[in-house]
Amino acid sequence: MRFEMSLFFISFLSLVVILAMAAPHMTDFQLERILADRGTIQRHIKCALGEGPCDPVGIRLRTLAPLVLRGSCPQCSPQETRQIRRTLSYVQRNHPWEWAKIIRQYG
């Protein structure tokens, strides 16, 4: 149960960040540029937590994130799934306070 919860939150954050970055088909290079932009990451984390506004990509992310976290996102391409996992891992390592809030909110 604890592992599933962690996986859910990791996938959720990754999806939030990736989908909030505009293009549904983002390159790995674009993702890395987004992850390097602290302001953009903060904006998407606030969207995920319901503490700030969401753009259309953020709304899609909030919809799909629970599916990705549960390990089943039929709407997600393999690339999106991989990028979401990359993003969640990044948030978990680099934004531990926000990560803890996400775990509390969605756990």
Position 92 pLDDT exceeds 70: yes
The whole-number pLDDT of residue 93 equals: 96
Position 89 pLDDT exceeds 60: yes
> Does the domain at residues 2-106 carry the CATH identifier 1.10.2080.10?
yes
Higher pLDDT among residues 4 and 90, named by residue: 90
The DSSP 8-state label assigned to residue 22 in this structure reads S
The HSE-up count of residue 96 (CA atoms within 13 Å, CB side) is: 1
The whole-number pLDDT of residue 21 equals: 41
The whole-number pLDDT of residue 4 equals: 60
**Domain extents in the chain:** 2-106
Burial state string for 79-92 with b = 16 or more CB within 10 A and e = fewer than 16: ebbebbbbbbebbb
Alpha helices in 1-107 (DSSP H): 2-19, 28-35, 38-49, 56-69, 78-94, 96-106
Percentage of residues in the chain with pLDDT exceeding 70?
A: 69
The whole-number pLDDT of residue 107 equals: 59
Q: pLDDT by residue (tens digit) across 32-75?
A: 988 899 988 898 889 888 899 987 767 766 776 667 777 778 88
